[in-house]
Amino acid sequence: MNFKSLMLGAAAAVAATGASAADLPVAPEPVDYVKVCDTYGATFYYIPGTETCLRVGGRVRVQYTLNNMAKNGAFDSYTSDNYGMYGKAYLFLDSRTSTEFGLLRTFAEMDMTSGLGGTEAIDLGKAYIQWGGFTFGYATSFFDYSTGTAAIGIVSRYASDKTTNLLGYTAAFGNMTASIAIEDGAVRETGTYFGATYPDVVAALGYSEGIVDAKLSGALHHVNTTVGKRSMGWAIGAGVTFDLPMISSGTSVVFQGQYADGALSYIGAPNGFSTTNAGGVTDMTNGKKNKGYSLLAGIKHQATDTVALALDGNYAKVDVNGANNDVTSWSIDGSVAWTPVSGFTMSADVGYQDLDVQGAADQDAILAAFRVQRDF
């Protein structure tokens, strides 16, 4: 049988079976399984089969630190680490769904760290649900505003900076917001407490328009450090940020002040304020509440499209009742950050702190750090 016979036979078979081009196998058309959710930006996509938008993101941070290089600091001690190193990974999930009652959002973040000597830790960074103005879960305190502008902030700068369990509500009125929350008072305890009696109550007013962003906040904190002597502590804070586009896009200044009476966590204590002198700083001493305040100012200058400079100054003081251990701290911290590629930053930071405990020698600190960070 020759080639011509084969072709005639095939044609006859096709005619006999009634086959057509429509019956031949066809490659399926491509299906758009992942669809961008434009409502919340290109970083979100619809979870297939739902109206929920999801963003999966994270960060990898690596840091190298030279510990206290001041006189009598780590470099002068045989028992202190002269340097520090760590690698940290952050992973987060951010889901959002529009409902007839408002936005339904869930946010979860995990932090995983490997530190000096191979020590490892896994922490919950945040975990909260927002719906119709309500916030439920583990989130940034409604009291907090700023911790400064420096890229790293290698020395202590005292300001309220807490993630805590809370239940809060925020209402928006044009350019203003009003918030109220009950928050876990146990994470605000400075000193030895006999138990958490009531949660803290926090309220805040926010304003944002044009180049101005501002916040006024207050808190009530139950003090239970002395047997038979309970008291109500309180704190107030105010902060404002001014963008300076006339200098460059991304340049801004921030000012903040916080005052506390028996609620020293709201000014950044006890970190660094706790000392071994006369028992350290607590919310109450000799049956009386201790008072303190902190002031912070910072400027960030976007020098070029890829280089940012920042400088922070901080002053804080705690007056301790009936004890010779009033604490005063002032610090200055500066950084330079280079972002050659979007989401990738290399930064260097140097800071100095003077911590003065009444009746004891000053505790100076000079630290430096280098950080490499990738956000995605």
φ, ψ for residue 105 (rounded to 5)?
-130, 140
Please give the pLDDT value at position 104. 97
- pLDDT number for residue 295: 98
Query: Hey, what's the torsion of the CAs at 116, 335, 142, 53, to 10 degrees?
Result: -80
Q: Residue 25, preceding bond cis, omega within 30 degrees?
A: no
Tokens representing residue 59 in the block = 């960060």
Output the six-digit token pair for 150: 């420096």
pLDDT at position 23 is 55
Q: Is 194 part of any domain? A: yes
Closest to 155 (Cα-Cα) out of 357, 354, 371 = 354
Evaluate whether residue 315 is within a structural domain: yes
Residue 7: the pLDDT is 42
Residue pair 112/74 in contact (Cβ under 8 Å)? The answer is no
DSSP 111: E
What's the rounded Cα separation, in Å, for the pair 183 and 67? 34
> Does 95 fall in a domain?
no
Residue type, 26: V
Instruction: Classify the C-alpha dihedral 125-129-132-133 as positive or negative.
Output: negative
Q: Which domain holds residue 144?
A: 134-331
Whether residue 340 is contained in a domain is answered as: no
Backbone φ and ψ for 156, nearest 5 degrees, come out as -65, 130
- 285-289 LR contacts (CB < 8 Å, sep 24+): 285/320, 285/321, 285/322, 285/323, 286/321, 286/322, 286/323, 287/226, 287/229, 288/321, 288/322, 289/223, 289/231, 289/233, 289/261, 289/262, 289/321
Residue 201, amino acid: V
Count of structural domains, the chain: 1
How far is the C-alpha of 352 from the C-alpha of 360, rounded, in Å? 19
Residue 107, both tokens = 């946010």
Report the C-alpha gap between 145 and 296 in whole angstroms. 11
Classify the C-alpha dihedral 94-253-296-307 as positive or negative. positive
Cβ-count burial 2-11 (b if 16+ within 10 Å, e if not):
eeeeeeeeee
In a domain, 103, yes or no: no
In a domain, 301, yes or no: yes
Q: Does 363 reside within a domain?
A: no
Burial of 369 (0-12, 13-18, 19+ CB in 10 A): buried
Count of CB atoms situated within 10 Å of the CB of 251: 18
- Does the residue 309 lie in any domain? yes
Task: Compute mean pLDDT per 10 residues along the chain, 376 residues long, and list them.
Answer: 46 45 56 79 89 96 90 68 93 95 95 91 96 97 97 92 97 96 95 89 97 98 83 97 96 98 90 50 86 97 97 94 81 97 97 86 89 97
> At a CB cut-off of 8 Å and minimum separation 6, what does 34 contact?
45, 46, 48
The kind and range of the H/E element at 121 are: strand 120-131
Tell me the pTM.
0.86
State the Cα–Cα distance between residues 221 and 189, nearest whole angstrom.
9
At 54 the pLDDT is: 96
Tokens 């510990």 map to which residue?
A: 67
In contact, 322 and 291? CB cutoff 8 Å: no
Burial class (CB in 10 A: 0-12, 13-18, 19+), 30: exposed
Q: Which two tokens stand for residue 300?
A: 């960030």
**Count of all residues that appear for the chain in the document:** 376
Distances (CA, A) of 293 to 141, 204, 267: 18, 18, 6
